[in-house]
Amino acid sequence: MGTRPAPIRINDPADERIAEFVSIRERDLTGRTNRFIAEGTVVLNAVLAAGAKARFSFDKLFILEKRLAGLEGLLQQLPAEVPVYTANRQVMDQVTGFAMHRGVLAVGRHSPPANLETFLAGLPDKSLLLACIGIANHDNMGSIFRNAGVFGADGVVIDQTSCDPLYRKSIRVSVGAALRVPFCRTDNATRMVQMLQNAGFEVYGLSPAGSADIANLQPKDKVALIVGTEGPGLGPEILEIAHTARIPQAPGMDSLNVATATGVALWQMATQMGRLN
């Protein structure tokens, strides 16, 4: 790691060195060469705890000056070449465009797998996987990743129509799980299902009209659960090539929220596979 240089004080909100943090409520770095903005100490811990296996790295940090003393031990774990900028409350709020109560921001970078085939090859022989198709709401995506982390999923596969789990709000809602649970993006949802099947996964599409009660499934070593967008759910082209499963519910309601359904389904599969304490 080397000896860390002292934090660099920022007095001018227009300083180009912290340009990535300007008005972060109105814009985000997602989609720009795998860079993202994250906030809070949970994010710092999630990345640093991964050590040599980290899929993420930090480009720079921007920290409220009053938070520095309490974060000294954590900041010492950063590589010496990662700059830490600091400012008082007035300057930081002017930069971000709102009151930054957490006072901890980072620009990070994701090093994704080359492709889905590489991603699947790196999973353990006994795997529980989640696949997302058309998840466009960042709150739902964050909650889905939180569920995946809590229930021990080995990874998440995301199609091209889904939003980015590294959007600032998604990371926050996931409580850092978006930086802990491995994920991969893929361009074609139908091809994704076929590749999962070719890799030995039992693939189940979750749908209120699913043919099997999820409580009755007897999962084998490799299981992939697929969830679709709010409202329409999974399309017929997916339901035709995958097994289907439903979560029983009382009459009178349309369906569960996709994040809630993901949590129920992951809990059921993880329990059946003996993955929970």
pLDDT (tens digit, 9 = 90+) per residue, 3-48?
789 999 999 999 999 999 998 876 665 555 678 888 888 878 877 7
Report residue 157: phi and psi, to 5°. -110, 135
Q: Which residues of 115-130 are buried (b: 16+ CB within 10 A; e: fewer)?
A: ebeebbeebeeebbbb
* pLDDT recorded at residue 32: 57
Q: What percent of the chain has pLDDT over 70?
A: 94
- Euclidean distance between CA atoms 127 and 184, whole angstroms: 15
Q: Which of 83-87, 251-255, 267-271, 273-277 has the lowest mean pLDDT?
A: 251-255
- Most trustworthy range by pLDDT among 36-45, 181-190, 246-255: 181-190
pLDDT confidence tier of residue 270, bands split at 50, 70 and 90 = very high
- Euclidean distance between CA atoms 128 and 192, whole angstroms: 15
- Euclidean distance between CA atoms 28 and 15, whole angstroms: 18
Q: Decide: pTM greater than 0.85.
A: yes
Between residues 253 and 70, which one has the greater pLDDT? 70
* pLDDT recorded at residue 179: 86
Between residues 197 and 97, which one has the greater pLDDT? 197
* CATH 3.40.1280.10 residue spans of the chain: 116-272
Question: Which single residue is written with the structure tokens 């795997």?
Answer: 127
* pLDDT recorded at residue 2: 54
In single-letter form, the type of residue at position 42 comes to V
DSSP 229: B
pLDDT confidence tier of residue 113, bands split at 50, 70 and 90 = confident
* pLDDT recorded at residue 47: 77
Residue 207: CA count within 13 A, CB half-sphere: 19
* CATH 3.30.1330.30 residue spans of the chain: 8-110
Mean pLDDT value of segment 116-144:
96
Pick the CATH number of 116-272 from 3.60.10.10, 3.30.70.980, 3.40.50.10490, 3.40.1280.10: 3.40.1280.10
The hierarchical CATH code for the domain 8-110 is 3.30.1330.30
* pLDDT recorded at residue 51: 58
Whether the pLDDT of residue 63 is over 70: the answer is yes
Whether the pLDDT of residue 146 is over 90: the answer is yes
Whether the pLDDT of residue 108 is over 90: the answer is no
In single-letter form, the type of residue at position 133 comes to I
Whether the pLDDT of residue 50 is over 70: the answer is no
Q: Which of 12-26, 51-65, 181-195 has the lowest mean pLDDT?
A: 51-65
